[in-house]
């Protein structure tokens, strides 16, 4: 199964990705997570990306396209993958199509999580993540069993630097201007289905699984 999950910041892409990869046994490719890892390890890529990510702007296409291409070529993606947060511009989508053509493979589906803007800022500023395994939590809607620590590995949960009200608001604007045209791009290819992301985490998962049947 080769999938893309699309939606504005805070829509629930990462949360739903965890459920999808478990069901279909495919790797989760989050360009945001790869960038955050590179930033924390201060790699060359991390140094180039840091300012964009922290301001809530898009990292230049050539950098992220290279990240995605390299990742898709890895052995564990042979039978499928879930792309989360990539592509984010039409140029990235065109580059992805070209890469998949070269590899002789097709996308199966694009999941579009549709959420009212009012929910997004609240969800993002109450988001916490585990720096060790990447798992996402929420202070209000998806709290860990013990406050402040990851259920799976006990690491202390952190807040993303870009999850402030101001940066999230900017990221939503960037999404509307630069990423939302991908909804029509993939709808025209007959790949896209919409789910209502304002429902509970469990209900959204159910809708996604139905759409993937």
Residue by residue, DSSP assigns 44-57 as HHHHHHHHHHHHTP
- When asked if residue 130 is in the footprint of ligand ADP (CB under 6 A), the reply is no
Annotation says 160 is catalytic: yes
Query: Which is nearer to ligand ADP, 72 or 162 (by Cβ)?
Result: 162
HSE of 29, CA atoms in CB hemisphere, 13 A: 22
What angle is formed at CA 189 by the lines to CA 213 and CA 192, rounded to 5 degrees?
40
Say how many residues touch ligand ADP, by CB under 6 A: 37
Query: Which is nearer to ligand ADP, 18 or 191 (by Cβ)?
Result: 18
- When asked if residue 7 is in the footprint of ligand ADP (CB under 6 A), the reply is yes
Specify whether the CB–CB gap between 191 and 107 falls below 8 A.
yes
String of contacts with ligand ADP for each residue 146-165, x by CB under 6 A:
----------------x---
DSSP three-state, residue 46 = helix
Contacts of 131 (CB under 8 A, 6+ apart): 40, 155, 156, 158
By CB under 6 A, name the binding residues for ligand ADP. 7, 9-15, 30-32, 35, 52-53, 56-59, 64, 85-86, 88, 92, 123-124, 127, 136-138, 141-142, 162, 171, 197, 200-201, 204
């Amino acid at each position: 199964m080769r999938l893309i999950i699309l939606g504005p910041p805070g829509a629930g892409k990462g949360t739903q990705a965890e459920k999808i990869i478990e069901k279909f046994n495919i790797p989760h490719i989050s360009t945001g997570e790869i960038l955050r890892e590179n930033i924390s390890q201060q790699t060359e890529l991390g140094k180039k990306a840091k300012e964009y990510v922290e301001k809530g702007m898009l990292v230049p296409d050539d950098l992220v396209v290279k990240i995605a291409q390299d990742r898709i070529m890895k052995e564990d993606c042979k039978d499928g993958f879930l792309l989360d947060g990539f592509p984010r511009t039409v140029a990235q989508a065109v580059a992805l199509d070209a890469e998949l053509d070269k590899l002789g493979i097709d996308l199966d589906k694009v999941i579009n999580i549709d959420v009212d803007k009012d929910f997004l800022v609240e969800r993002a500023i109450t988001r916490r993540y585990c720096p060790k395994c990447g798992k996402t939590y929420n202070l209000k809607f998806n709290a860990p069993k013990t406050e402040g620590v990851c259920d799976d590995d006990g690491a202390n949960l952190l807040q993303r630097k870009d999850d402030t009200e101001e940066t999230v608001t900017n990221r939503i604007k960037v999404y509307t201007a630069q990423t939302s045209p991908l909804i029509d791009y993939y709808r025209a290819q007959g790949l896209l289905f919409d789910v209502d992301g304002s429902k509970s985490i469990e209900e959204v998962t159910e809708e996604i699984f139905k759409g993937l049947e």
